[in-house]
Structure 1
Amino acid sequence: MLALTLPVEAHFKLLSPAPWIAEEDDFGDPQWSYPCGGTLTDPGKPTGAVTKLEGGEKLHLRIQEMAFHPGFYRVALAVNSRSELPPDPEPISKTGPDGRQRSISGAIQYPPAPPILADGLFMHTVPLDKIQEAEIEMPNINCTKCTLQVIEFMASHVRNPDGDYTYHHCADLQIRANPDKPIDTRFPAENKQH
């Protein structure tokens, strides 16, 4: 009975593209703090990994859920600064019998609009028992070092002081626009001074 009352933490690993900070354990931690992981006291250790791709092509996203909570994933892109990333999904929560806030659900943007590239991915109420993969269409833009954010919103989860009801991973990207396609003006132009 005691095991049923302890909070279960959901964690995931970003397998591809390469994460911007080193995962320090088998669960993919640290991944609590908005916008890109780490914790409030430790932002994590940068890997220096940068994934290069051409604008307008599809990015192959691979994640592995390491511990279960019902929920979904979202992917967003910041061109110049991580401040361009959207806030975490707005939760609906309630106070449980133990007096702690628990999430019930989170808002999904449909259809997704920049900076969100995909929302409501890998929606699940039972454990994801294998690596999850998706092809994410990238905008045709130029950016020397932009940030791809992948988050997991968890339902039926107690509030975490480092990240509320969401876990966070990011990857640094370098995108070179395809000259044969129009530039995607829904995203800001690259600021060369960052």
Structure 2
Amino acid sequence: MSCLPATALAHIRLIEPAPRHEQQKAGPCGAGTDDARGEAPSTFRPGQTITVRWQETVPHPGYFRISFDAEGQDAFADPPAAGERGDPAVVLVDLIADKDGTQTYEQAVTLPDVSCERCTLQLVQVMTDKAPYGDGNDLYYQCADLVLSEDAPETSGAPAEDDAGGCRTASAGPLVLVLVLGRRRRRA
């Protein structure tokens, strides 16, 4: 029996919405051809503004990009060159500046005003200190599976564990508040 972890955290860790998995190296969502949709998507209302939170676990100069695909993940494309903006039909926020050292980031994102059962939010870290760009060692990926529904309460979001140990979608209002306050106290 091995005591090594099955997967290792690489350079970024998506916190909210809940990530599909921890793998990060092969696009579009971190695991390449094994990027199957997860069982517990986060649910939001179409057009809702959410806060995407992630942590950079290994610092590199560069930037971050947040994209959205209403029908899975086939619309995601890597930046053709470092610093080039992505397709505005897919990329929600681009060129989010990297900070020095390891940091926790928060970015307000307004989701598209569409209903979808199999939509995906993608976070990409683009490292500009890796040359040449595009050699496969300069991008890290994380995705969150989403459902956008008019029936979702405006405070819905991250899956929460139910009493049986599984996941269910629940109101994240008070839970998120407690987590955010806890993080802020630790930083102070």
Question: Is the TM value for this pair above 0.5?
Answer: yes
Change (3 A) 1:165 1:50: same
Aligned to 1:165: 138
Does 2:142 match 1:147? no
Aligned to 1:138: 111
Do 1:11 and 1:67's aligned partners in 2 also have CA atoms closer than 8 Å? yes
Deviation string, structure 1 residues 67-92 (Cα, Å, up to 9, x no partner): 0110111111111131122x21122x
Aligned to 1:124: 98
Change (3 A) 1:151 1:143: same
Aligned to 1:183: none
Partners of 1:158 and 1:12 lie apart in 2 by 19
The residue type equivalent to 2:70 in the other structure is V
Query: What are structure 2's unaligned runs of at least 5 residues?
Result: 1-8, 152-188
Counterpart of 1:50 (choices 41, 45, 50) is 41
Change (3 A) 1:31 1:160: farther
Do 1:69 and 1:156's aligned partners in 2 also have CA atoms closer than 8 Å? yes
Does 2:89 match 1:114? yes
Give the TM-score normalised by the residue count of structure 2: 0.67
The residue type equivalent to 2:44 in the other structure is L
Aligned residues with identical type, % of pairs: 28
Query: What are structure 1's unaligned runs of at least 5 residues?
Result: 1-8, 24-29, 92-104, 179-194
The residue type equivalent to 2:63 in the other structure is F
Counterpart of 1:37 (choices 23, 26, 30) is 30
Pairs aligned (count): 143
The residue type equivalent to 1:20 in the other structure is R
Partners of 1:161 and 1:124 lie apart in 2 by 19
Change (3 A) 1:115 1:59: same
Do 2:44 and 2:148's aligned partners in 1 also have CA atoms closer than 8 Å? yes
Does 2:13 match 1:13? yes
Partners of 1:15 and 1:125 lie apart in 2 by 17
Partners of 1:66 and 1:160 lie apart in 2 by 21
Q: Kindly report which structure 2 residues correspond to 1:29-108, keeping only aligned pairs within 5 A, or say none.
A: 30-38=23-31, 43=34, 47-85=38-76, 87-91=77-81, 105-108=82-85
Deviation string, structure 1 residues 80-132 (Cα, Å, up to 9, x no partner): 131122x21122xxxxxxxxxxxxx43134xx7111111011x136224x311
